[in-house]
Amino acid sequence: MTQSDPWTIIENARKGGYAIGAFNMHNEETTEAMLLAAERAGAPVYLQVGRAIVPHMGLRRAYEMTRRIAERSGAEYVIHLDHGPWDEVLEAIKLGFRSIMCDYAHLSLDDNIARTRRTVEICHDFGIPVEAELGRIPDAGQDVDWSEYMTDVAEAERFVHETGVDMLAISAGIVHGVVDGKVPPLDIARIEAIRDATGIPLVLHGASGLSERDVMAARAAGVHKFNADTDLRHAFRRGFESVWAKGDRQLEEAMAEGRRLMIDATVDKMRVYGCAEKSGLKIAA
Ligand SMILES: [Zn+2]
């Protein structure tokens, strides 16, 4: 299958009150795991080229490997760049990414707006929707003053209005990575206020730490894309390590077991996000 239209996937999610999962690819096995999960769940999926993979194999190789594996699958998918800086955004457009998240959070708000607007103009010329992030998302284990991190409603309204961005990733009590013990409070009222002020679909990164209840509340409040990596990575690792716990084994055996557990974990996420059985390909079939 070729890549599907991300505009339709997200618009359907918005109309249907559910969310799409965006999961990081890392190698052949994890890319296969996401696609096999999407096939099994009948869900559309964002195959995400994340921050860790770029220094590891480069953007081109990550994209080409993902596309080669995805084209053999029967899943509905979009290849998405996560947290791309400017030069990577341009490379991603040339390579054939269908969905892009740009990240200029290191700039001042005015410069962030100007650069994001430019990104939106270029991406829209190529039919690519753009996600951007406003607010700061702390890493797990950081002790933070949330008032300095959470997305400000008025700022979000201005940012979306002035940039024309299609989706907004927000900070509303989530962290990158999984929190041990104390779960950060998810500010549902803030999510609703940002949805009402911006009128566009919202995204939550770092969704691994969220309870099913939080996910349901966030979906109802306007979140239509969740980025989750840590839970799936942990599933892969469990499978991987369980093979070697039995003694020395072939790498292939360990990778296959990692993939098997990652598929299960991904299907579970898709069910909670509500995108299972929502693949347009499946509905058409
Ligand atoms: Zn993120």
Ordered structural domains, the chain, with CATH:
6-235+263-284 (3.20.20.70)
Question: How far, in Å, is the centroid of ligand 1 from the Cα of 18?
Answer: 20
Question: How far, in Å, is the centroid of ligand 1 from the Cα of 103?
Answer: 9
Tokens 């999510």 locate to 191
For 200, phi then psi, to 5°, come to -120, 160
Question: How far, in Å, is the centroid of ligand 1 from the Cα of 245?
Answer: 33
- Rounded Cα distance, 156 and 95, in Å: 30
Question: How far, in Å, is the centroid of ligand 1 from the Cα of 83?
Answer: 6
Question: How far, in Å, is the centroid of ligand 1 from the Cα of 75?
Answer: 24
> Which pLDDT belongs to residue 183?
61
Lowest pLDDT segment from 47-56, 63-72, 141-150, 267-276: 141-150
Question: How far, in Å, is the centroid of ligand 1 from the Cα of 133?
Answer: 8
82 catalytic, yes or no?
A: yes
- The burial class, CB within 10 Å (0-12 / 13-18 / 19+), for 100 is buried
| Closest residue by Cα to residue 201 from 3, 2, 4, 16 | 16
Percentage of residues in the chain having pLDDT higher than 90: 85
Question: How far, in Å, is the centroid of ligand 1 from the Cα of 97?
Answer: 18
Lowest pLDDT segment from 213-217, 268-272, 280-284: 280-284
Choose, from 82, 166, 229, 231, the residue flagged as catalytic: 82
Task: Give yes or no for residue 147 having a pLDDT over 90.
Answer: no
Packing angle, helices 59-71 and 86-95, rounded to 10 = 30
Intra-chain end-to-end CA distance of the chain, in Å: 14
- Rounded Cα distance, 89 and 81, in Å: 8
Question: How far, in Å, is the centroid of ligand 1 from the Cα of 252?
Answer: 30
Q: How many C-beta atoms surround the C-beta of residue 258 within 10 A? A: 24
> Which pLDDT belongs to residue 184?
66
Question: How far, in Å, is the centroid of ligand 1 from the Cα of 206?
Answer: 6
Q: What is the mean pLDDT of residues 204-230?
A: 94
Assign 3-class secondary structure to the chain.
Answer: CCCCCHHHHHHHHHHHCCCEEEEECCCHHHHHHHHHHHHHHCCCEEEEECCCHHHHHCHHHHHHHHHHHHHCCCCCEEEEEEEECHHHHHHHHHHCCCEEEECCCCCCHHHHHHHHHHHHHHHHHCCCCEEEEECCCCECCCCCCHHHCCCCHHHHHHHHHHHCCCEEEECCCCCECCCCCCCCCCCHHHHHHHHHHHCCCEEECCHHHCCHHHHHHHHHHCEEEEECCHHHHHHHHHHHHHHHCCCCCCHHHHHHHHHHHHHHHHHHHHHHHCCCCCCHHHHHC
> Which pLDDT belongs to residue 136?
81
- The burial class, CB within 10 Å (0-12 / 13-18 / 19+), for 53 is buried
For 46, phi then psi, to 5°, come to -95, 115
Task: Give yes or no for residue 282 having a pLDDT over 60.
Answer: no
Tokens 């103009």 locate to 121
Question: How far, in Å, is the centroid of ligand 1 from the Cα of 281?
Answer: 28
Task: Give yes or no for residue 178 having a pLDDT over 90.
Answer: no
Convert the pLDDT of each residue in 86-126 to its tens digit.
999 999 999 999 999 999 988 999 999 999 999 999 999 99
For 242, phi then psi, to 5°, come to -65, -30
